[in-house]
Amino acid sequence: MANAFDQQINDFMAKVIAKNPSEVEFHQAVHEVVETLIPFVEENPQYKAAKVLERIVEPERVILFRVPWLDDKGEIQINKGFRIEMNSAIGPYKGGLRFHPTVNLGILKFLAFEQVFKNSLTTLPMGGGKGGSDFDPKGKSDNEVMRFCQSFMTELSKHIGPNTDVPAGDIGVGGREIGFLFGQYKRLRNEFTGVLTGKGIEWGGSLIRPEATGYGATYFAAEMLETRGETLEGKTVVISGSGNVAQYATEKVTEMGGKVVTLSDSSGFIYDPAGIDKEKLEYVMWLKNVKRGRIKEYAEKFDCEYHEGMRPWGVKCEIAMPCATQNEVNEDEAKTLIANGCYCISEGANMPSTPEAIEVYQNAGILYGLGKAANAGGVAVSGLEMSQNSLRFAWTREEVDAKLQKIMKDIHATCVKYGKKEDGSVDYVRGANIGGFVKVADAMIAQGLV
Ligand code: NDP
Ligand code: 2IT
């Protein structure tokens, strides 16, 4: 896209790339944001004078550590541990932990950077952070996962705390891992405190936290559809992934009258034209959360198509919800989606669309809800979990769900406020980036040179 600010954007990016070589996902996330923020900062010189953009791309602190652990054979294993404390202008660092063999510094910096804007959009007082390890939980026994988590937390516990930095789950980190991490923190510090979110309901967790990201991304899709006087009723929805976010997106879409026809994992996708109803979803939850099996087994059980090594974007739909990982929709796949009649994308995953795919959506004028707005429901309910922990009190399911719905509505309204175009349509990328930026930037300026 030709932009009057191209030269400034290129100059800014050249410096970011030179200072952070080889962190390609971080470059991608920063580029997407500064494309909208550089023109905004030019119109609002207080941000330029204070060099807010130059400061906001530099993490406040990066912690790298060794994680040694013993496998079931008694052999020593070594992984890398990371925590990126990106920005604490509006609250303690907050963001998930990812355990996946692809994890590296650039991926976690992109996630921490996105988290700063996302957390600001929720309206709750949370800064941005992210962490994790290149540990692969797949194929490990519960005991191996526990020993890894205990070793990981032994170091991480020195850097986090309920008023400092509050991690949660992400890919490869769910209820089981949060339990082991929490247990070790408590043991080391002798404190029962809200240092992690996504905890079990019996020990300080919040109702609706497991559901929140998938539910929130569905509520966001519904908000976008409402701008065109439409609802989810009767719509065909293609979802990728089959983990936490995909499962609860499937549940909520179905409840709201849509039909989810695909799910995937890193091996391939299933296509069930009859729709993944409540009963089939129960099976998926057992398959993925208890048996820890492959999505292929769904096709065998319910006698539907399975496409090995493929992503689901060739399946005809009105709505697509990428809920697996970054860069999982490329330019060609975006074109295919649109050619097949898709006109609404709500991203449960972080940065699932490549920059080329985003350009395709934008040129086609479809409803495009980017991750930092559409998937903010998860961290929003994490924020509500922190509030409940501080109050030593628990809200009901209905109360938390109502708060989540209101937060998603407000995020949508913020996107409209900053992203409404002259023709009345909404540029959600611009809306979310500027909407998330303003509060953090103002707080950074108010707090002096930090
Ligand atoms: P899970 O670990 O529960 O599930 C991840 C799913 O995505 C699995 O089906 C997994 O398949 C698939 N997947 C992961 N990596 C890849 C890959 N490289 N290629 C293809 N498929 C892949 O994670 P979540 O559901 O929690 O997270 C999904 C996405 O949502 C991530 O982008 C995460 O950052 C984002 N997110 C999560 C939030 C949360 O609250 N959990 C909040 C906001 C965003 P397989 O099992 O084969 O690896
Ligand atoms: O990407 C995300 O927003 C998350 N993985 C959730 C973070 C959190 O602190 O709940």
Q: What is the CATH number of the domain that holds 107?
A: 3.40.50.10860
Strand 367-369 and strand 344-346: pairing? Answer: parallel
Closest residue by CA, ligand 2 atom 10: 379
- Based on the domain organization, do 49 and 68 belong to the same domain? no
- Which of ligand 1's atoms lies nearest the C-alpha of 212? 40
- Report which ligand 1 atom has the smallest distance to the Cα of 375: 43
Our answer to whether residue 130 is catalytic in this structure is yes
CB atoms within 10 A of CB 77: 16
323 lines ligand 1 (CB under 6 A): yes
Tens-digit pLDDT profile for residues 254-302: 999 999 999 999 999 999 999 999 999 999 999 999 999 999 999 999 9
pLDDT score for 2: 55
* 156 is a domain residue: yes
Question: 415 in a domain, yes or no?
Answer: no
Q: What is the pLDDT of residues 67-87, one digit of tens each?
A: 999 999 999 999 999 999 999
Closest CA to 85 of 126, 31, 133: 126
Is 379 a pocket residue for ligand 2 (Cβ < 6 Å)? yes
| 99 and 140 belong to one structural domain | yes
Residue 444 and residue 56 in contact, taking contact as beta carbons nearer than 8 Å? yes
Encoded amino acid at 449, one letter = L
Alpha helix stretches (DSSP H) within 102-169: 105-121, 142-156
Ligand 1 contacts CB of residue 427 (under 6 A): no
- pLDDT for the residue 4: 84
Examine the domain organization and report whether 226 and 277 are in the same domain.
Answer: yes
Examine residue 400 and state whether it is found in any structural domain, yes or no: no
- Say how many domains are in the chain: 3
Q: What number is the average pLDDT over the span 161-174?
A: 98
Q: In this structure, are 44 and 154 located in the same domain?
A: no
37 domain residue, yes or no: yes
Cα 211 to ligand 1 centroid, rounded to whole Å: 14
pLDDT in tens, 120-159: 999 999 999 999 999 999 999 999 999 999 999 999 999 9
Note the pLDDT of residue 224: 98
Q: Which of 355, 374, 393 is the last residue of a domain?
A: 374
Domain contains 432 = no
Q: Are residues 225 and 270 in the same domain?
A: yes
Instruction: For the chain, give the percent of residues with pLDDT over 70.
Output: 100
Q: Looking at the structure, do residues 279 and 362 belong to the same domain, yes or no?
A: yes
Secondary structure of residue 418 in the 3-state scheme: helix
Please pick, among 130, 199, 252, 403, the residue that the annotation labels catalytic: 130
Are residues 230 and 364 both part of a single domain? Answer: yes
Residue 69: helix, strand or coil by DSSP? strand
Contact 282, 260 (CB under 8 A): no
222 and 353 in a single domain? The answer is: yes
Q: Which residues contact 50 (CB under 8 A, 6 or more apart)?
A: 441, 444, 445
End-to-end CA distance of the chain: 34
Whether residue 358 has its Cβ less than 6 Å from ligand 1: no
Residue 7 has pLDDT above 70, yes or no: yes
Q: What are phi and psi of 23, to 5 degrees?
A: -95, 70
Q: Are 171 and 99 in contact (CB under 8 A)?
A: yes
Question: Does residue 412 form part of some domain?
Answer: no
CATH code of the domain in which 348 resides:
3.40.50.720
Residue 437 lies in a domain: no
CA 218 – ligand 1 centroid, Å: 16
CB of residue 439 inside a 6 A radius of ligand 2: no
Q: Write out pLDDT tens, residues 342-374.
A: 999 999 999 999 999 999 999 999 999 999 999
The reported pLDDT for the residue numbered 9 is 97
Q: What is the pLDDT of residues 298-349, one digit of tens each?
A: 999 999 999 999 999 999 999 999 999 999 999 999 999 999 999 999 999 9
Residue 114 pLDDT: 98
- Give the pairing type, strands 93-99 and 128-133: parallel
Using the 3D structure, point to which of 374, 400, 429 is the last residue of a domain.
Answer: 374
Separation CA 88–CA 212 (nearest Å): 23
Residue whose CA is at the smallest distance from ligand 1 atom 29: 349
**pLDDT above 60 for 1:** no
- Please check whether residue 26 lies inside any domain of the structure: yes
- Separation of CA 236 and ligand 1 centre (Å): 22
Q: Which ligand ends up closest to the CA of 93?
A: 2
Q: Is the CB of 371 under 6 A from ligand 2?
A: no
> 35 and 152: one domain?
no
Alpha-carbon gap, residue 236 to 136, rounded angstroms: 34
Q: Which atom of ligand 1 is nearest to the CA of 382?
A: 40
> What is the residue-averaged pLDDT of the chain?
98
| Strand 236-239 with 259-265, pairing | parallel
Domain boundary among 39, 56, 73: 56
Give the range of the structural domain holding residue 18, as residue numbers without chain letter: 2-56
Q: Are residues 326 and 281 in the same domain?
A: yes
Q: At 307, list the tokens.
A: 């496409």
Q: Are residues 66 and 110 in the same domain?
A: yes
Q: Are residues 230 and 254 in the same domain?
A: yes
Question: What is the Cα–Cα distance from 156 to 151, expressed in whole angstroms?
Answer: 9
